[in-house]
Amino acid sequence: MTDKTVALEAADVLDLGGNWIPQSSSVSTSQSNIKMVKANGDYQKFSSTYDVITEVTIPYTYSAITGMGAALPSIGAVENAYLITEISVDTSWDAYPIANFTAHNHGANAHADDRNEYAPSAAIQSAITGAQGAYDFAGLASGNICVQSSNYTLSLDHVDANCSTGDHWVGQNVKGMETISCTYIGTLATFTIADWTVTGYNIDDSNEAFDVSTITAEKLVLRT
């Protein structure tokens, strides 16, 4: 008996193409039913299926040989029939950047590409090149301070409404936000980042490890 034919590759569900390389993909579909209960406590029947929603999560990396190849897409945009609600980029000294995409769509009244969209800032866009290593999104590294790992997240609040028999009726995107988090080896001399609102910082001072500083900040994103 020969091997079965089963694909051994990660599907580019969002169809980003170019230098984007999907590392894996998860596509999950859920649907709802209302259960009617009889007087004796048993179930009488189920309603028809409604509110079918498919959610997608995909981590991408991209070729550092030729560069990023394509800009980070706006969130709120519809790519290959899925509306992107979050992009989270993780970087570390021992890896290429990984961009984690979260997206979804509905079986009824599916989202089209006419919602509010929010794009990454130009400074962040130019910083994410695809090169190996930890990225200093906060710009606080110095001769005695080295960035060890970092995260950049572009997110929004997505509001959906159901109507009548329970199917999805309408959806919209609001409240675009950028957040960064950077962890440094060494003690930071300042906890301010130009054009960002710092939301927290921490210094870990131990007699068994080098001092580590972590800072988080956020910035509002205007609609495109």
Contact 40, 79 (CB under 8 A): no
The arithmetic mean of pLDDT across residues 66-90, rounded, is 86
Q: What H or E segment, with its residue span, contains residue 122?
A: helix 122-127
Confidence of residue 127 (pLDDT cuts 50, 70, 90): confident
> How many other CB atoms are there within 10 angstroms of residue 96's CB atom?
15
CA–CA separation, 44 vs 208, rounded Å? Answer: 64
The CA distance from 159 to 168, in Å, is 11
pLDDT at residue 128, rounded to an integer: 86
For residue range 40-58, what is the model confidence (pLDDT) as tens digits? 988 888 888 889 999 999 9
The structure's pTM equals 0.91
How many Å from the N-terminal Cα to the C-terminal Cα in the chain? 56
SS3 206: coil
pLDDT per position as a tens digit, 165-178: 899 999 999 999 99
- pLDDT, one tens digit per residue, over 129-185 is 888 899 999 999 999 999 999 999 999 999 999 999 899 999 999 999 999 999 999
Instruction: Determine contact, residues 43/35, Cβ cutoff 8 Å.
Output: yes
**SS3 category, 123:** helix
